[in-house]
């Protein structure tokens, strides 16, 4: 991403409704899904592409967290925030962490930035313990491509099918996949259409007025009760829980 985009992210991700709501959704999903079939225990966790570190605190509630990040500016911000040493990394061929070591790998809105998405998933799969999982989130629906995607240097948006196919091509297995950010989908669609009609790009990263930000966060985070339980036909984002094949 552009350095200015990382600076905006670092400034906004503690307050913006999308970042705060998504953390609530993912924390609830992890608490529910990771408790199935295993005794509760602190996990060894890797965040691949941690950006400016906004998710490290949330992930730290589940175990010991390590992180890697490509961008040096984002890495410096994440280190200041977290106190962790964030190692440099370029997926898929430069992943400086040990094989077969992690209970959970978080790949949160990273895969869409990587040219070789299938090779990157395969490289991360090699770092999992036998019963480990990768949590992937990506932007959904290619027909929603917008100025936001271009500014953030996205290579693609996914459908449930294309994400599942990428995971399978990497030699991994999808345990669960689904759309989220669904309740606000009509609003987002109207904004995207308006942007196309007027020729003016939408400013997705700007923190709205306090009351609006709180309202949007409340609506979005309400999906924590649904994600992984109710199959949603559409959404602005996708998640997948990925594991090694049997």
Which distant-in-sequence residues (6+ apart) come within 8 Å of 43 by Cβ? 34, 62, 63, 64, 102, 103, 104
Listed residue (100, 78, 79, 96) closest to 88, CA to CA: 96
Instruction: State mean pLDDT over 142-160.
Output: 90
* Complete DSSP assignment for 44-90: EEEEES-TTSTTHHHHHTTEEEEEEES-HHHHHHHHHHH----EE-B
Least confident stretch, 10-14, 71-75, 129-133, 141-145 = 10-14
pLDDT tens, 161-195? 999 999 999 999 999 999 999 999 998 888 777 66
**Domain housing 84:** 3-243
Q: Which residue has the higher pLDDT, 95 or 191?
A: 95
Length of the chain: 246
Least confident stretch, 43-47, 192-196, 233-237 = 192-196
- Could you give the residue ranges of the DSSP H alpha helices within the chain? 3-12, 17-34, 56-60, 72-82, 117-125, 147-151, 160-169, 185-198, 210-221
pLDDT tens, 64-89? 999 999 999 999 999 999 999 999 99
Q: CB neighbours (10 Å) of residue 169?
A: 13
Whether pLDDT at 101 is above 80:
yes
Q: Place 156 in a pLDDT band, splitting at 50, 70 and 90.
A: very high
b/e string for 123-136 if b means 16 or more Cβ within 10 A? bbbebbeeebbbbb
Which CATH number goes with the domain that contains 100? 3.40.50.150
Q: What was the pLDDT predicted at 189?
A: 85
Token pair 């996949």 in the structure block, residue: 177
Whether pLDDT at 39 is above 60:
no
Domain count, the chain: 1
Q: Between β-strands 43-48 and 63-69, what pairing exists: parallel, antiparallel or unpaired?
A: parallel
Q: CA-CA distances (angstroms) from residue 132 to 49, 78, 141?
A: 18, 25, 28
DSSP state of 158: B
What is the residue-averaged pLDDT of the chain?
Answer: 91
Percent of the chain residues topping a pLDDT of 70: 89
Give all strands of the β-sheet with 87-88 in edge-to-edge order.
87-88, 63-69, 43-48, 102-108, 128-139, 237-243, 173-180
Q: What was the pLDDT predicted at 152?
A: 83
Least confident stretch, 24-38, 52-66, 94-108, 155-169 = 24-38
CA atoms within 13 A on the CB side of 46: 25
pTM for this one?
Answer: 0.92
Angstrom distance (rounded) from CA 235 to CA 246: 30
């Amino acid at each position: 991403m552009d350095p200015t985009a990382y600076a905006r992210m670092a400034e906004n991700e503690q307050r913006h409704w999308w970042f705060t709501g998504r953390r609530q959704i993912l924390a609830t999903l992890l608490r529910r899904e990771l408790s199935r079939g295993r005794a509760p225990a602190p996990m060894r966790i890797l965040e691949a592409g941690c950006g400016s570190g906004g998710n490290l605190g949330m992930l730290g509630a589940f175990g010991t967290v390590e992180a890697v990040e490509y961008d040096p500016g984002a890495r410096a911000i994440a280190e200041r925030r977290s106190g962790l040493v964030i190692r440099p990394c370029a997926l898929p061929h430069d992943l400086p962490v040990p094989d077969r070591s992690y209970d959970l790998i978080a790949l949160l809105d990273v895969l869409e930035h990587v040219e070789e998405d299938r090779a990157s998933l395969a490289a991360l799969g090699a770092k999992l313990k036998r019963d480990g999982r990768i949590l992937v989130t990506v932007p959904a629906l290619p027909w929603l491509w917008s100025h936001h995607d271009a500014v953030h240097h996205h290579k693609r948006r996914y459908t449930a099918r294309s994400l599942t196919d990428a995971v399978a091509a990497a030699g991994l297995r999808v345990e669960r996949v689904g759309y989220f950010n669904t309740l606000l989908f009509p609003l987002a669609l109207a904004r995207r259409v308006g942007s196309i009609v007027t020729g003016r790009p939408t400013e997705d990263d700007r923190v709205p007025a306090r009351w609006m930000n709180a309202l949007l966060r409340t609506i979005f985070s309400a999906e924590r009760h649904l994600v992984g339980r109710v199959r949603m036909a559409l959404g602005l984002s996708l998640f997948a829980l990925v594991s090694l094949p049997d």
